[in-house]
């Protein structure tokens, strides 16, 4: 992580070049770039942005940018993944359907087979309700640092964080 953080925190970092090569030429808004850059530096981010602003692009871009950076630095044995905690199934469906970069995503049902796939890091973005994320089976998978997921989980996102009080 240190070498990646150094690469992203330097003055010579060209985020637009990264977007062009890794994100299909997508031009992110200033706030999105800032959030992704901070995440790549290993910092926590609170992105309070209006509805429809493209907050999901932040974590989707992060996963791809981190993967690209780790591959170019030669320091990744598994691809980065992201857990997104979402309060409503309809939001999960919307996020899966608007998958901008054709990432491997999973949401809803966490059967034993799906949990095995999650543990083996088959998915780059995992959507879960708070209840699913706090289930003993899922927590066991998440806490297993020897699993592919345990070695690759790079980001945990709480979407619609204003609802955390009601969870």
Please say if the pLDDT value at position 41 is more than 80: yes
Ranges assigned E (strand) in 10-167:
81-85, 105-106, 125-128, 153-158
Using CA atoms, how far apart are residues 164 and 1, in angstroms rounded to an integer?
A: 30
Distance of alpha carbon 110 from alpha carbon 116, whole angstroms:
9
Q: Render pLDDT for 132-155 as a digit per residue (tens, 0 to 9).
A: 888 888 888 888 888 888 888 889
Please tell us whether the domain made up of 81-167 is placed in CATH 3.60.15.10: no
Domain extents for the chain?
A: 1-76, 81-167
Whether the pTM exceeds 0.85: the reply is no
Confidence of residue 160 (pLDDT cuts 50, 70, 90): confident
């Amino acid at each position: 992580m240190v070498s990646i953080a150094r690469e992203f925190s330097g003055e010579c970092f060209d985020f637009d070049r990264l977007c062009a090569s890794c994100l299909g030429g997508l031009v992110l808004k200033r706030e999105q770039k800032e959030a992704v850059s901070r995440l790549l530096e290993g910092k926590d981010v609170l992105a309070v942005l209006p509805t429809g602003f493209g907050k999901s692009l932040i974590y989707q871009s992060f996963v791809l940018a981190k993967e690209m950076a780790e591959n170019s630095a030669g320091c990744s044995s598994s691809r980065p993944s992201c857990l997104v905690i979402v309060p409503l199934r309809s939001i999960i469906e919307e996020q899966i359907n608007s998958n901008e970069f054709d990432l491997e995503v999973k949401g809803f049902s966490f059967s034993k087979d799906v949990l095995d796939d999650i543990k083996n890091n088959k998915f780059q973005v995992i959507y879960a309700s708070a209840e699913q994320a706090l289930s003993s089976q899922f927590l066991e998978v998440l806490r297993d640092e020897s699993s592919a997921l345990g070695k690759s989980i790079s980001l945990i996102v709480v979407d619609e964080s204003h609802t955390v009080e009601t969870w």
